[in-house]
């Protein structure tokens, strides 16, 4: 943006009796204000003194995890959305069992929905027999009819409180591929962290572990001053939970503050109208906004919903690219060659508002440059999507569709909550745009409108001809909710009014925000021994 300059020889006139003009904040003050904004938005403090390493795909992530676990002497905390009983899963299971037999405290946390159909009870029993403590997060409960929507989508490994890994990868063969059969690995990204921030990773694991059973002993959780500095990188561990929306606010803030570039990779992009507008505003302000998404997805419906949202982004100048290789599962962002994010969160309502997610926001130009270089390499295997002369969404060079691997059908069933949330959001946006007439709809959105219209017309016909058929599902739903509320009330009465996981996480975040609000001047990044612990995300 152009700056307005003033001649130093002609000072601005002052009105007698008027207050002196306020000084514009200098670079240091602006930096502190930006840090405070990021801290409050994410609910996570900036932690200094770390060393980080970017890890691409299973070929770099899995060996790094295995090496760290092999060297474990005290503890291994392993959190996975999917832990499959296949070639990759059995390799990790064998090593975890070996370390447990050697006296290492090994804890494995897997999500109930994510792991559905991936591993048998015998698989988990063998791990438990070896001394591994295994917990399954959030199985269905009678007293919580909608509780199953919130999933533990985090993927992390913490070893001996000295090294941690945050990633988008799950423990399954499809991430590794099968070169012998010509099966490409999935494209995904993770990172290694060493230094004081590992304490936040361990406590993030403990957050979800505690929801699935007895809490971890406090003495087993490290404090930042117990972990020596390992480098000079400052970062935030953003451990988001349902109803906290920390990453949602952070993503909006980054879109608003980016000045030069914002490059995003996302596996299941179905942005809210507010976030889409934030990206549009950045692009219209000459920010180089790019979005890399899968060309073929394991969740076909989410892919179609994502495509339906291309038009408003393209019209504003956002560049969209579709990956041409195997499934693109990475979740990253890099802005202005300075700020970067790597983790488990997708840009959709399921990740922003319903799931337990774990991301690392890095404030370091060296790491950001690495992520930018990786992004440019990915674009070499991607096709840009543009608006043609008739304003239709088209690829620059149409490519033949790749066959979809058969194992992905199981995953589509397990991701029902994400598909439902994304579908409702995109259809709602399309219907609102059609009724309000505030923007032109594309062919993909027209199909969504046709589906919504067909469903409504079918309901109208059925309701007119057979009103009981329409009323029966509502009666069943009301009965189910009533029974669930009775069970919940009885359970709370027995527990003395203990809140749910969502309520407790909301209270914790509210307390952290109150602490942050009372800090006055923002504090410098925490680092190494002697640093105080701030609020955690």
Q: Which of 85, 99, 111, 153 is catalytic?
A: 153
Q: Is 207 exposed, middle or buried (0-12, 13-18, 19+ CB in 10 A)?
A: buried
129 and 263 inside one domain: yes
Q: What was the pLDDT predicted at 533?
A: 35
Q: What was the pLDDT predicted at 446?
A: 62
Q: Which of 337, 361, 395 is the last residue of a domain?
A: 395
Q: Is 283 in contact with 346 (CB distance < 8 Å)?
A: no
Q: What was the pLDDT predicted at 429?
A: 53
78 and 158 inside one domain: yes
Beta partners for residue 150, in sequence order: none
Q: Which of 373, 395, 417 is the last residue of a domain?
A: 395
334 and 459 inside one domain: no
Q: Which of 476, 494, 524 is the last residue of a domain?
A: 476
354 and 450 inside one domain: no
221 and 340 inside one domain: yes
Ranges under pLDDT 50 in the chain: 1-23, 400-414, 416, 434-435, 438, 500-503, 505-506, 509-510, 512-513, 516-523, 528-537
386 and 458 inside one domain: no
Q: What was the pLDDT predicted at 396?
A: 75
Q: 203 in a domain, yes or no?
A: yes
Q: Which of 336, 363, 364, 378 is catalytic?
A: 336
Q: Which of 99, 155, 252, 303 is catalytic?
A: 155
321-330 pLDDT, tens digit per residue, is 999 999 999 9
Whole-number Å distance between alpha carbons of 471 and 475: 6
Q: What was the pLDDT predicted at 98?
A: 98
The secondary structure of residue 439, as a DSSP letter, is: S
Q: 92 in a domain, yes or no?
A: yes
* Residue 397 falls in the annotated catalytic set: no
Q: What was the pLDDT predicted at 300?
A: 73
Task: Dig out the tokens for 261 from the structure.
Answer: 């570039």
456 and 350 inside one domain: no
Q: Which of 303, 331, 363, 378 is catalytic?
A: 331
Measure Cα distances from 109 to 85, 210, 401 in Å. 15, 10, 37
* Residue 329 falls in the annotated catalytic set: yes
Q: Which of 298, 329, 363, 364 is catalytic?
A: 329
Q: 228 in a domain, yes or no?
A: yes
Q: 367 in a domain, yes or no?
A: yes
Torsion angle, CA of 205/211/215/219, rounded to 10 degrees? 30
For residue 423, report the phi and psi dihedrals to the nearest 5 degrees: -65, -45
456 and 310 inside one domain: no
For residue 473, how many other CB atoms are within 10 A of its CB?
9
| Helix, strand, coil percent content, the chain, rounded in steps of 5 | 45, 20, 35
Q: 382 in a domain, yes or no?
A: yes
Q: What was the pLDDT predicted at 17?
A: 47
Q: Which of 160, 251, 298, 363 is catalytic?
A: 160
Q: For position 44, which CATH number holds?
A: 3.30.870.10
Q: What was the pLDDT predicted at 21?
A: 46
> Element (H or E) spanning 109, and its range?
strand 105-111
327 and 465 inside one domain: no
* Residue 336 falls in the annotated catalytic set: yes
338 and 456 inside one domain: no
Give the domain extent around 156.
38-395
* Residue 153 falls in the annotated catalytic set: yes
170 and 44 inside one domain: yes
Q: 181 in a domain, yes or no?
A: yes
Q: 44 in a domain, yes or no?
A: yes
Q: How many domains does the chain have?
A: 2
Q: 528 in a domain, yes or no?
A: no
76 and 213 inside one domain: yes
Q: Is 65 in contact with 153 (CB distance < 8 Å)?
A: no
């Amino acid at each position: 943006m152009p700056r307005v300059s003033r001649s130093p020889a002609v000072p601005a006139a002052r009105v007698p009796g008027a207050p002196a003009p306020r000084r514009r904040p200098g670079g240091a003050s602006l930096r502190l204000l930006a840090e405070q904004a990021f801290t409050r938005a994410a609910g996570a403090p900036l932690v200094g003194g770390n060393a980080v390493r970017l890890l691409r795909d299973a070929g770099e992530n899995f060996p790094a995890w295995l090496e760290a676990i092999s060297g474990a002497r005290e503890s291994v905390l392993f959190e996975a959305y999917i832990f499959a009983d296949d070639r990759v899963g059995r390799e990790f299971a064998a090593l975890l069992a070996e370390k447990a037999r050697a006296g290492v405290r090994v804890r494995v946390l897997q999500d109930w929905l994510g792991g559905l159909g991936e591993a048998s009870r015998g698989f988990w029993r063998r791990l438990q027999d070896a001394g591994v403590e295994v917990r399954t997060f959030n199985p269905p409960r009678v007293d919580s009819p909608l509780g199953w929507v919130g999933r533990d989508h985090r993927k992390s490994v913490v070893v001996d409180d000295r090294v941690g890994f945050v990633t988008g990868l799950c423990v399954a063969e499809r991430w590794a591929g099968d070169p012998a059969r010509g099966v490409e690995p999935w494209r995904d990204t993770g990172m290694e962290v060493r230094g004081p921030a590992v304490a936040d990773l361990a406590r993030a694991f403990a957050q979800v572990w505690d929801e699935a059973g007895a809490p971890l002993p406090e003495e087993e959780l490290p404090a930042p001053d117990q972990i020596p500095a390992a480098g000079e990188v400052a970062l935030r561990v953003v451990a988001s939970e349902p109803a906290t929306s920390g990453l949602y606010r952070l993503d909006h803030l980054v879109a608003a503050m980016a000045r030069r570039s914002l490059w995003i990779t996302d596996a299941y992009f179905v942005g809210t109208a507010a976030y889409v507008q934030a990206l549009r505003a950045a692009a219209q302000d000459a920010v180089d906004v790019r979005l890399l998404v899968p060309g073929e997805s394991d969740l076909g419906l989410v892919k179609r919903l994502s495509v339906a949202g291309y038009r408003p982004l393209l019209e504003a100048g956002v560049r969209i690219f579709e990956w041409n290789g195997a499934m693109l599962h990475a979740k990253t962002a890099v802005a202005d060659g300075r700020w970067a994010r790597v983790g488990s969160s997708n840009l959709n309502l399921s990740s922003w508002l319903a799931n337990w997610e774990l991301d690392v926001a890095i404030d370091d130009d060296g790491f950001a440059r690495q992520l930018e270089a990786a992004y440019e390499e990915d674009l070499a295997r991607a096709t840009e999507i543009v608006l043609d002369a008739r304003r239709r969404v088209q690829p620059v060079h149409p490519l033949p569709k790749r066959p979809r691997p058969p194992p992905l059908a199981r995953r589509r069933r397990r991701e029902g909550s994400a598909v439902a949330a994304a579908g409702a959001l995109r259809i709602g946006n399309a219907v609102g745009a059609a009724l309000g007439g505030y923007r032109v709809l594309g062919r993909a959105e027209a199909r969504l409108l046709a589906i919504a219209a067909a469903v409504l017309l079918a309901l109208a016909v059925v309701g007119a001809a057979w009103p009981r058929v329409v009323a029966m599902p509502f009666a069943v739903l009301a009965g189910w909710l009533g029974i669930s509320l009775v069970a919940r009330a009885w359970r709370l009465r027995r527990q003395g009014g203990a809140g749910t996981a969502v309520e407790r996480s909301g209270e914790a975040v509210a307390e952290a925000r109150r602490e942050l609000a009372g800090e006055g001047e923002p504090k410098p990044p925490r680092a190494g021994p002697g640093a105080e612990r701030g609020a955690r995300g």
